[in-house]
Amino acid sequence: MTLVVTERRQASFVYLEAGLAQRKPSLVLLHGMLGEPSNWDHTLLALAQAGYHALAPLLPMYDMPLKAANVPSLVAFMHRFVSALHLSPVIFVGNSLGGQLALLYTLTYPDQVVALVLTGSSGIEEVELGTSTFRRYDRAYIRERAALTFYDPGLVTDALIDRILAIIHDRQKALRLIRLARSAQSETVADRLDQLKQPVLLVWGKNDRITPPEVAQRFAQMLPQATLHFIDRCGHAPMMEQPEAFNAVLLAFLQRLATVSFNGRSRSAETDTTSPNLLFFRTASTT
């Protein structure tokens, strides 16, 4: 079976979409700072093959007015996205800053969110990557900081370094990124996590150096309905570094959402990490 990930442009939104739109609830996949929707390519395909509808929007980190380059503005953007595409209620899947945005959205609009999946989420504590200052711009330093993202340093490609350098050498983009990083540091959620009643799956790289395993354990302790699953030999972006293992845990969680009545107790996420081979195509669509 051939599956398609479609790049869509609708109004002011740019996003990747896969699966049948009539399948509810939809899953909205949120990338992190310096990330992009294609970080979710493998997960979009796996969700579509399993019969789910999934979307990965491009967060307008570099296009917001400078004074509005902050986390609340991104949450407001997410609300416009969900409302414009009539997606509510949704399941958010967020990596790094995307996880923090998902948490803040759920705290603001709890009736619109069925469940959360967080991987390497910020919002409690993370290692400073330099995005709040950008004091150094040289290639060696950027490679060193980018390597913190992955367990496998081979994933820090020249193309990735080129993309990061292009962003930070663009003064307008760099200024917005700095403001956004500082906003993320101030918009913490630790004191409000007990308000979240939705089931939450925490999928963490066992070798995450940006949001270490201790951060995942703190999330698990503070969230009323949290399930924590670690993936070995994996850093800050499990959906990129260990996509088959990540997708297997995610799909098992979604299956339990459909069949299990959650009663507030944490449940383990032990599952088969095998995944069928998927053929990837991307098409473009403007609506």
Q: What tens digit of pLDDT does each residue of 168-187 get?
A: 889 999 999 999 999 999 99
For position 27, what pLDDT does the model report? 98
Q: Residues 121, 103: contact at Cβ < 8 Å?
A: yes
Question: Per the domain annotation, does 230 fall within a domain?
Answer: yes
Residue 68 belongs to what domain range? 3-126+190-286
Question: Would you place residue 263 in the very low, low, confident or very high pLDDT band (cuts 50, 70, 90)?
Answer: very low
Whether the pLDDT of residue 283 is over 50: the answer is: no
DSSP string, 98-141: HHHHHHHHHHH-GGGEEEEEEES--SS-----STTT-----HHH
Spatial neighbors of 148 by CB under 8 A, at least 6 apart, are 127, 129, 209, 210, 235, 236
pLDDT score recorded for residue 287: 43
Instruction: State the pLDDT at residue 252.
Output: 96
Whole-angstrom Cα distance, residue 73 to residue 61? Answer: 9
Per-residue pLDDT at 4: 83
Residue 259 scores a pLDDT above 50: yes
- Whether residue 136 lies inside any domain: the answer is no
So what's the pLDDT on residue 120? 97
Over range 235-250, report the average pLDDT.
98
The CATH number for 109's domain is 3.40.50.1820
User: Is 184 part of any domain?
Assistant: no
Count the domains in the chain: 1
Q: Is the pLDDT of residue 267 over 90?
A: no
Q: What share of the chain is helix, strand, coil (3-state, %, to 5)?
A: 45, 20, 40
Is 142 within the bounds of a domain? no
Confidence of residue 52 (pLDDT cuts 50, 70, 90): very high
pLDDT for 264 beyond 60: no
Give residue 270's pLDDT: 34
Percent of the chain predicted with pLDDT > 90: 76
Q: What is the pLDDT of residue 76?
A: 97
Residue 264: Cβ within 10 Å count: 8
Q: ∠ at Cα 69 (213, 80), nearest 5°?
A: 90
Asked if the structure places residue 157 within a domain, the reply is: no
Give the per-residue pLDDT at 3.
Answer: 74
Confidence band, pLDDT 50/70/90 cuts, at residue 2: low
Count of helices and strands (H, E) across the chain = 9, 9
Separation of alpha carbons 106 and 121, rounded Å: 14
Residue 237 falls inside a structural domain: yes
Rounded CA gap, 50 and 38, in Å? 19
CA distance 40 to 37: 6
Higher pLDDT, 202 or 141: 202
93-152: pLDDT as tens digits: 999 999 999 999 999 999 999 999 999 999 997 555 444 455 567 888 899 989 999 999
- The conformational region for residue 130 under phi > 0 = left, psi -120 to 50 = alpha, else beta, is left
What token pair was written down for 251?
Answer: 């799909």
Using 50, 70 and 90 to split pLDDT, how confident is the model at 265? very low
Q: How does pLDDT run across 12-39, given as a tens digit for each residue?
A: 899 999 998 777 799 999 999 999 999 9
Q: Return mean pLDDT, the chain.
A: 87
- DSSP label of 51: T
pLDDT band at 197 (very low <50, low <70, confident <90, very high): very high
